[in-house]
């Protein structure tokens, strides 16, 4: 099976050719809801089966602009499959995915990216033989921007992600934390309204975890909705306003960090009795 990381990048490039093949300048398509509509990224009774087994079983979650939400649970709970369904890598067998009340369940990945869904895959997604700057430029070029705008956005992202001194460095020589920052910069190059971060704290040292937490907090402060799944529970709960606990494909419960830590069932099944 093709990796989610490669599929996501291919979808962005495909979107470029479909939008620009006629020679017309592309543009990001944004769904503008009516005032009565809900502004959020949601799944409603989302379901996915593999080999007759319900990996995701009627999962309903919601992320609003300007908030960080966690999707947590044991290995095999269905977290990554839920992410794959939202970004379009896996087609759900049931339920709906809504962006500002518009049903996007049947749309391809590149359309979801155009509409404002950003994705940081668990697998490394950078072009290893390209420089840091060219990694970011490749995604900006896929947006159909003019050269001046590409250069300006590239420098802005390099500065914001503290990568300016690494701009000419080959991606395969970066540390784990630097690689993460490049991946986040590339995701932000699409100017998303919502970001899905799959294991953003994996494979990086504690100091870099703090740096990534600060970046996520800044995304929230800018008004982006952020959905995180990560095995580093404590680090995720530190920055999430609330979190869903997913067990065996079902939502067990949801709440703030304090509510989840105090929940005896959550401690017994997932966190452990000594978690505090």
pLDDT tens for residues 57-107?
A: 999 999 999 999 999 999 999 999 999 999 999 999 999 999 999 999 999
Range 246-264 average pLDDT: 97
- Domain positions in the chain: 4-20+31-127+196-262
Residue 34 pLDDT level (bands cut at 50, 70, 90):
very low
Fold assignment, 4-20+31-127+196-262: Rossmann fold (3.40.50)
- Give the per-residue pLDDT at 26: 38
Q: Residue 222 pLDDT more than 80?
A: yes
What percent of the chain stands above pLDDT 90? Answer: 76
Burial of 205 (0-12, 13-18, 19+ CB in 10 A): exposed
- Give the per-residue pLDDT at 259: 97
Rounded CA Rg of the chain: 18
pTM: 0.85
- Give the per-residue pLDDT at 204: 87
Tell me how far the alpha carbon of residue 266 is from its chain's centroid.
Answer: 25
Range 237-241 average pLDDT: 97
């Amino acid at each position: 099976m093709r990796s989610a990381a490669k599929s996501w990048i291919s979808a962005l490039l495909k979107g470029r050719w479909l939008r620009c093949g006629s020679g017309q300048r592309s543009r990001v398509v944004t769904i503008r809801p009516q005032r009565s509509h809900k502004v959020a990224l949601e799944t409603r009774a989302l379901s996915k089966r593999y080999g007759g087994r319900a990996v995701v079983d009627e999962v309903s979650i919601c992320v609003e602009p300007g908030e960080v939400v966690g999707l947590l649970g044991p290995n095999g709970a269905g977290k990554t499959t839920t992410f794959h369904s939202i970004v379009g890598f896996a087609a759900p067998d049931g339920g709906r995915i809504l962006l500002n009340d518009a049903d996007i369940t049947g749309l391809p990945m590149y359309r979801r990216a155009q509409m404002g869904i950003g994705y940081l895959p668990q697998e490394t997604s950078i072009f290893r033989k390209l420089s840091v700057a060219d990694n970011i430029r490749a995604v900006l070029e896929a947006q159909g921007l003019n050269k001046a705008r590409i250069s300006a956005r590239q420098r802005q992202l390099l500065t914001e992600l503290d990568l300016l001194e690494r701009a000419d460095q080959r991606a395969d020589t970066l540390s784990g934390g630097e690689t993460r920052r490049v991946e986040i910069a590339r995701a932000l190059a699409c100017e998303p309204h919502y970001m899905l971060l799959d294991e953003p704290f994996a494979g990086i040292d504690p100091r870099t975890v703090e740096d990534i937490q600060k970046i996520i907090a800044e995304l929230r402060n800018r008004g982006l909705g952020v959905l995180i799944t990560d095995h580093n529970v404590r680090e995720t709960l530190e920055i999430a306003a609330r979190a869903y606990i997913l067990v065996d494909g079902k939502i067990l419960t949801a709440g703030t960090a304090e509510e989840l830590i105090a929940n005896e069932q959550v401690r017994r099944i997932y966190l452990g009795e000594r978690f505090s």
